[in-house]
């Protein structure tokens, strides 16, 4: 008998890792499901400037990248585990962007020598 036919075999119960392509976009519902948050949370994070959809239509349809889904997960972690509010999280994200920009500038300047 094959393991596929046994309902509780390890192969049947294992979770398959899903790695989407780099250009895959997720709807608001799919992004919320993947991040494990309500849709409303993502909309609040968008309004706060923490996450941006790649596409947003006038009728409310939004599409997000995998990077945005990961950002939502980080935001949720910072809110629930670290106890930070959205203003602090926004400040933190802005500082991280500035550090990345400065690192890129330093790399550029070093490469010109």
pTM assigned to the model: 0.72
Laid out side by side, the sheet with 26-27 consists of 26-27, 62-64, 55-56
Q: Each residue of 27-45: pLDDT tens digit?
A: 999 999 999 999 999 999 9
Detail the DSSP E strand segments found in the chain.
26-27, 55-56, 62-64
The CA–CA distances, whole Å, from 66 to 25, 35, 109 equal 7, 10, 31
Q: d(Cα 12, Cα 36) in Å, to the nearest integer?
A: 24
Which residues of the chain have a pLDDT value below 50? Answer: 1
Domains of the chain: 20-111 (1.10.1660.10)
């Amino acid at each position: 008998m094959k393991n596929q036919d046994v309902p509780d075999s390890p192969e049947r119960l294992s979770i398959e890792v899903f790695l989407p392509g780099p250009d895959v976009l997720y709807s608001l519902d799919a992004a919320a499901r993947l991040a494990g948050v309500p849709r409303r949370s993502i909309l609040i994070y968008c309004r706060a400037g923490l996450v941006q959809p790649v596409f947003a239509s006038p009728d409310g349809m939004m599409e997000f990248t995998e990077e945005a889904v990961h950002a939502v997960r980080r935001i949720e972690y910072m809110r629930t585990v670290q106890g930070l509010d959205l203003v602090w999280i926004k400040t933190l994200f802005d500082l991280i962007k500035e550090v990345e920009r400065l690192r890129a500038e330093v790399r550029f300047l070093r490469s010109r020598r």
